[in-house]
Amino acid sequence: MTALPTLALAGLVMLPAAVLPACGPGERGEYADASLQEIYEQGVTFQDFLDQATRRKNLWTEHYGESSVPADILERARAVDGSWRILAIAEDWCSDSVNTIPFLALLADAVPAIELRVVDSEVGEAIMEAHLTPDGRPATPTVLVLDDAYEEVGCWVERPSSLQAWALENREGLGDDFMPQKMAWYKDDAGRSTLDEVLAVIEAAAAGQSICTKG
């Protein structure tokens, strides 16, 4: 995986991305008596999700309608063998979802071998519980990568690793300043770190490895 950018926010230097660990026990193809194929097929396309969104509508629309996938990311994605499904658990009110999922939708739009479906946190609750954040929370977005047999081959949780490291270190101390600084990071990054990390999960799966990044 290419190195993530080092970004500064209000004098705080972003930490480098963590090494991606392998998916652990409990991260499997059955969740609360529903198969991943059944859960995936309950999902909606990103366009349908966008049409139904009522919270943060302007930001959802801006990120999807006014952004593009960087050329180097697109080249990598088109070079990956196989076909892949991205199952995203997201909510329209979630600040991390709105700053990550639209960019994955753009990737899926541009690469025929990648397909995206979105479910809400009620449908995806068991998946979230099986893929907790480093500080032990179920969170949106939680993203699973599935192969063409709907088997789980990797995951990505909540936010890019560099931002997650900064958030875990600084959230309590920043108080009301946390959200503006987080949103500023996302604006500067413009989806690149999310695309880089999720694509790294897909590339690993194509090479026969299962990895999951949770920050």
Structure confidence at residue 215 (pLDDT)? 67
Q: Over the stretch 136-163, which tens digit does the pLDDT of each residue have?
A: 999 999 999 999 999 999 999 999 999 9
- Structure tokens, 200: 């790294």
**The two three-digit tokens of residue 34, written as one number:** 């529903």
Query: 121 with 128: CB under 8 angstroms?
Result: yes
Q: What does the pLDDT read at residue 31?
A: 76
- Measure the CA–CA gap between 82 and 202, rounded to whole angstroms: 10
pLDDT at 120 over 60: yes
Question: What residue has token string 């194509």?
Answer: 206
Answer whether 30's CB lies under 8 Å from 153's CB. no
Q: What is the pTM of this model?
A: 0.87
